Amino acid sequence: MEQVSSNKSHFGTQGVYTHQSAETGTAMTFSVFVPDHAESATMPVLWYLSGLTCTHANVTEKGEFRAACAEHGIILIAPDTSPRGDDVPDDEAYDFGKGAGFYVDATRSPWAANFRMRSYIERELPALIAEEFPVDMGRQGITGHSMGGHGALTIALRNPGRFRSVSAFAPIVSPLNCPWGEKALAGYLGADRMAWREYDACALLEDGARLPDLLVDQGGADTFLDEQLKTSLLQEACSKAGQPAMIRMQPGYDHSYYFISTFMAQHIAWHATRLKD
């Protein structure tokens, strides 16, 4: 692991790091904010997964999370959304290929060799974080935005007991039922829609997976709401499954970081309550 940058901010340290990933076969970059702490202390960790076209930098520079993380003593980790590099396959569209890994392990050529974001986020990066940073891996939360909200929900649902808290901002709740998801899952996994279910939060709930709790904020003026995000499908799935969930529609807010940054501190405080010793 190599440090790309380090900056003092909000009574903590914002770092950016790179390492060679065995899963993706590429260099991967991620950011970590570590609040000031006693030398021997460990802290809970909150994973933040970003959306289409984003890197680690979007939330790091625009998410306005550091003051809240410092207040509550939470480490925030922001990975990239896909492998990068000249030898990594790509697509001309913004919603497939680089910047659009969808947090899946691809099985179709040419994507399968590098697009292993599920294994990278679920296994490889957590092992590195546990080795290099003062984290208490028994106290983990996860959140994300849009495609990253999809990632946060599905990763938590597939890994029962790992995350004490799960939230999302404007998540893609059912890739099986929206153009972004249908394109990505068909492209990375092939035509068998049964293989897609493990990457669909609503399908996972229908199949019996559960979360300890859930907080979702969705902007009412989000132009992607009706066609791509379909928050109502998650509301229906949670209701049918008896899944505890607070799903809030925020009037007038769009899909941007103006929306995310407005409610970020509330999400961090919500996670903090559930990540206490």
Active site residues: 146, 222, 255
Q: For residues 160 and 200, what is the distance between their CA atoms, to the nearest angstrom?
A: 15
Select from 51, 269, 58 the least CA-distant residue to 147. Answer: 51
Q: Which amino acid is at 70?
A: A
3-state secondary structure at position 96? coil
Strands 135-144 and 43-49: parallel
Name beta bridge partners: 250. 219
Query: Which ranges of 30-112 does DSSP label H, i.e. alpha helix?
Result: 57-62, 66-72
Residue 232: which H helix or E strand, with range? helix 231-241
CB 251 within 8 A of CB 222: no
- Please give the structure tokens belonging to residue 235: 């509301």
Cβ neighbourhood burial of 250 (10 Å; 0-12, 13-18, 19+): middle
Distances (CA, A) of 194 to 97, 159, 178, 198, 253: 22, 19, 16, 8, 34
- Please give the structure tokens belonging to residue 4: 């790309």
Instruction: Determine the Cα angle at 216 with ends 155 and 252, to 5°.
Output: 140
CB 187 within 8 A of CB 111: yes
